[in-house]
Amino acid sequence: MSTLLPAPPVAADEGNLPGGTSVTVELTEPGEAAVIPAGAASLAVAGTASIGQGPTIANTLIV
């Protein structure tokens, strides 16, 4: 029996948005040694992003 493990992150970063909400991004594709053709119109990426919960700010509207 084989077990599939998630790919290790190629790039990862974390920080905070201006209101203090945490944000984390981890890219797994394309791989570190991937060759991207010059002039490529688009690039597919894979990974995860998560946004934490920040403090509630009174009189705030989400648009």
- The domain spans of the chain are 8-32+43-53
Please say whether the beta carbons of 47 and 9 come within 8 A: yes
SS3 of 25-36: the string is EEEEECCCCCCC
pTM: 0.58
pLDDT tens, 7-56? 667 888 899 988 889 999 998 888 888 888 888 888 888 999 999 988 87
